Structure 1
Amino acid sequence: MPVNIGLIGLGMIGRDHLQRFSTVINNARVTAVCDINSGVADTLAKQYQATAYYDAIEMIHSESVDAIFICSVGPVHKEQILAAIKVGKPIFCEKPLTPTAEESKAIIDAETAYGKRLLQLGFMRRFDPGYIELKKSIDAGELGDILLMHCAHRNPSVPESYTLEMAINDSATHEIDIIRYLLNENIVSVRVDIPRKKTSRALPHLQDPLMVIFETESGVRIDDELFVNCNYGYDIQCEVIGENAIASLTEQALTVKRSVSGAGYPIAKTCMERFATAYDREVQNFIDNISSGREMSGPSCWDGYVVALVCDAGLASLQDGLKHEVTVPPRPALYR
């Protein structure tokens, strides 16, 4: 039987996932959609032959919904996740788990008390072919001892609603998780450097670009360029510097065009375009776990909590420019 999905949040990423369930994902269907904008909920419910809800908690308790798919804004994640855990329904939650580590800890406590992993967190880069190949090279020892990493997170532009804090909580959060995934160790310190110059395309309230410096338990130093008004495209870079070799992501282009003016390839404009395969794979993983009766796999509440700890330190550094330490408590047995 197909898994009946209740999807909360019908913004850009919510609509992208609706289309994914309709055209790509096997053994699942969206039977309910929820948004505080009733007009949007009604329109998309009609388009996808689903039931419209305007209250997330009501939808979570619906007997016609088997699993909860959260694409709402971060500040409401805690309430929605705790409600789904209480009724024992599997949950997929887009990042961030919550805006603060304190809120994430409450979710850890609730899931631990339930006694079983119910949640998969939407750190889609772990399902990206390029990052998977990078991890294979590192784990196989092909690069030797890892010394440095260079990362870049570039958007063509961001809306006026994008704040300086979102550069940490919404953009750098992906690099924070992928660093832990690639290196199998935690980040122990963060420093945010604010350059003297900023792009003329940045709105007055926004410093852009930023540079974030991370250090891991073993002493690997990582620099992460956050440039969210780069103009030319959505460009994600990662280069791992080992003692014996260097490995990096490719440009992820499917085609190269040659002409009298030279050779070139298209650059993605959005995260949905760049990480389409990763999004497909992470959602199918979520459904496959439910269908097979397996405990949830993929990025967990614990991963979201640890990333939130690093983000909290990054936000503190954003205020004072100093290096802030990150202390990660012992991992609960449920997440080992």
Structure 2
Amino acid sequence: MTVKIGLIGLGMIGRDHLQRFNNVITGAQVTAVCDINRAAADAVAAEYHATAFYDADELINSDQVDAIFICSIGPVHKAQILSAFKAGKPVFCEKPLTPTADESQEIIAAEVAAGKRLLQLGFMRRFDPGYQALKQTIASGELGEIMLIHCAHRNPSVPESYTLEMAVNDSATHEIDIIRYLLNENIVSVRVDKPRKKTSRAYPHLQDPLIVIFETESGVRIDDELFVNCNYGYDIRCEVIGENAISGLTEQALTYTRSPNGVSRHISQSCMERFATAYDREVQNFVDNISRGSAMTGPSSWDGYVVALVCDAGLASLKDGQKHDVTIPECPALYLA
């Protein structure tokens, strides 16, 4: 069985996934693409021998597609997801699920009413070999009681369109999800600190770097450095401090060079480069579930909702600098399996 994929949104991540379907993923083919930019949709459709659509609902309801792959901007996710649910088609959606937690509740309600998980959310770090190994180390008990986690999320640069709010909703969102994945517990409070100094590389409207402080149900304290104009590369760090030992991600360098000047290592320049394996694995997982006729696995709508709750608290702290508590409702049974 070849799963026919309808891909919505032809920006940077959408085109990266198109390459993935074309060159890496087995058991699936992109048969339709959609973008509001008609010229882009036509050009990509011609390149990948797919049908071009300019309206998401038309693609979703087309007989040419079995499953929906959403790479559009966050504000339109809810409508596209609900349309796919109504059409009875499984969905992969890039994060965020929705820009706010209130919008996510409608998706949760629709999926619970369907009685089956229909959506996989694009928190790709859960499929990264480094984070998976780190989770196994924590679960083994080797580190002892977990006390602290140090994280860093660094980009070489961001465009002028990148806002202060995006530091929480687009950057810190990955750490929020991976903390829950690593520790199997929820975040209960958030505080966003603005250092007095900011990099000269940041646009005037942007405070960069930021420090976000999270606390979990058991009292684990996490600090997350968000430095999105660090200049030198895309650098993701995570170090877990246990009572007996510590464990963290390695440099993840793909190559190194030895020369008379010493040893140098290549540093990733984008998330697509650093997490290429994780992206491949998450998409193959989505396709495999469809081929088996199984409910979706991996990050769920509920995970997206909980991350949105934490982000909402983070945005409130971004405004007043205070610690904000996060209240998470009881998780529906559908997402506990």
Q: Normalization by structure 1: what TM-score?
A: 1.00
Q: Offset at 1:253? A: 1.4
Q: Counterpart in 1 of 2:62? A: 62
CA deviations 1:271-298 (Å, max 9, x no partner) are: 0000000000000000000001111100
Q: Offset at 1:228? A: 0.3
Structure-to-structure mapping, 1:188-207, within 5 angstroms: 188-207=188-207
Moved more, 288-297 or 255-264: 255-264
Q: Counterpart in 1 of 2:272? A: 272
Partner Cα distance (1:164, 1:149) in 2: 24
Tell me which amino acid in the other structure corresponds to 1:331: C
Structure-to-structure mapping, 1:158-237, within 5 angstroms: 158-237=158-237
Partner Cα distance (1:323, 1:76) in 2: 30
Q: Counterpart in 2 of 1:78? A: 78
Tell me which amino acid in the other structure corresponds to 1:181: Y
SS of structure 2 residue aligned to 1:215: strand
Q: Counterpart in 2 of 1:257? A: 257
Q: Counterpart in 2 of 1:114? A: 114
Partner Cα distance (1:253, 1:172) in 2: 22
CA deviations 1:176-227 (Å, max 9, x no partner) are: 0000000000000000000111000000111100000000000000000000
Give the unaligned 5+ runs of structure 2: none
Partner Cα distance (2:16, 2:298) in 1: 20
Does 2:98 align with 1:102? Answer: no
SS of structure 2 residue aligned to 1:98: coil
Q: Counterpart in 1 of 2:37? A: 37
Partner Cα distance (1:235, 1:255) in 2: 15
CA deviations 1:240-291 (Å, max 9, x no partner) are: 0000110000011132211111112100000000000000000000000000
Structure-to-structure mapping, 1:81-160, within 5 angstroms: 81-160=81-160
Q: Offset at 1:39? A: 0.3
CA deviations 1:92-139 (Å, max 9, x no partner) are: 000000000000111000101111100000000000000000000001
Partner Cα distance (2:230, 2:207) in 1: 13
SS of structure 1 residue aligned to 2:147: strand
Q: Counterpart in 1 of 2:6? A: 6
Partner Cα distance (2:105, 2:46) in 1: 38
SS of structure 1 residue aligned to 2:172: helix
Partner Cα distance (2:255, 2:209) in 1: 30
Partner Cα distance (1:270, 1:3) in 2: 29
Tell me which amino acid in the other structure corresponds to 2:152: A
Partner Cα distance (2:264, 2:109) in 1: 50
CA deviations 1:20-59 (Å, max 9, x no partner) are: 0000000000000000000000000000000000000110
Q: Offset at 1:142? A: 1.0
Q: Counterpart in 2 of 1:242? A: 242
Partner Cα distance (2:52, 2:254) in 1: 38
Q: Offset at 1:14? A: 0.2
Partner Cα distance (1:85, 1:254) in 2: 40
Tell me which amino acid in the other structure corresponds to 2:242: G
Partner Cα distance (2:316, 2:174) in 1: 18
Partner Cα distance (1:34, 1:297) in 2: 25
Partner Cα distance (2:293, 2:137) in 1: 32
Partner Cα distance (1:105, 1:313) in 2: 16
Tell me which amino acid in the other structure corresponds to 2:189: S
Q: Counterpart in 1 of 2:50? A: 50
Tell me which amino acid in the other structure corresponds to 2:25: I
Q: Normalization by structure 2: what TM-score?
A: 0.99
Does 2:305 align with 1:305? Answer: yes
Q: Offset at 1:323? A: 0.1
Instruction: Tell me how many residue pairs correspond in the alignment.
Output: 336
Partner Cα distance (1:256, 1:69) in 2: 36
Partner Cα distance (1:12, 1:276) in 2: 14
Q: Which runs of 4+ in 1 moved over 2 A?
A: none
SS of structure 1 residue aligned to 2:215: strand
Q: Counterpart in 2 of 1:318? A: 318
Partner Cα distance (2:10, 2:106) in 1: 26
SS of structure 1 residue aligned to 2:223: strand
Give the unaligned 5+ runs of structure 1: none
Q: Counterpart in 1 of 2:327? A: 327
Fraction of identical pairs, as percent: 78
